[in-house]
Amino acid sequence: MTPPAFSPAPAAGPPWVRPLWGGQGLCGLGTVGLLLPGGPVWFVLAAGAFAKSDPRREAWLLSRPGVGQLVRDYRAGRGMSQRAKRMACLWIALAAGLSVGRLPGPAAQVGWGLAGAQGIGLIAWRVPTFRDPAGR
């Protein structure tokens, strides 16, 4: 099934704010989304930033296989598929668990563990879940 055509809305806000949103989108997509866990969440955030800065980048992201459908589902109010939520939570737990021992001092370790737990909690309980017959 072909995804529906997407016509991006014009970028909103003063011209000097648009590059800031574009930078946030690139940071979320390129740096943070590829290096940190919870990939689907970062793609949703990057698409939101691109929507406020550059409709062409937003359209590009929405046209990516897999990623674009995740963002469209979230925007439509469907949330995330069970598989995407499991993967995001797994990667957050793995990253937090593997890196917590490298932090100096117990306060930083506890803070990092709590941040990971909060991320998992937000995804698990606040983001709607749907069953996807396609297995995404």
Per-residue pLDDT of the chain (136 residues; tens, 9 = 90+): 444 444 445 555 677 777 777 776 766 665 555 555 556 667 777 777 777 787 888 888 888 887 788 888 888 888 888 888 888 888 888 888 888 888 889 999 999 899 889 989 988 888 888 876 665 5
For residue 4, the tally of other CB atoms under 10 A from its CB is 7
Q: Is residue 10 part of a domain?
A: no
Q: Is residue 28 part of a domain?
A: yes
Q: Is residue 109 part of a domain?
A: yes
Identify the pLDDT of residue 32.
57
Q: Is residue 72 part of a domain?
A: yes
Q: Is residue 25 part of a domain?
A: yes
Q: Is residue 83 part of a domain?
A: yes
What is this structure's pTM?
Answer: 0.60
Fill in the amino acid letter for 26: L
Identify the pLDDT of residue 110.
92
Look up the domain containing 24 and give its range: 18-130
Number of domains in the chain: 1
Q: Are 110 and 103 in contact (CB under 8 A)?
A: no
CA 50 to chain centre: 13
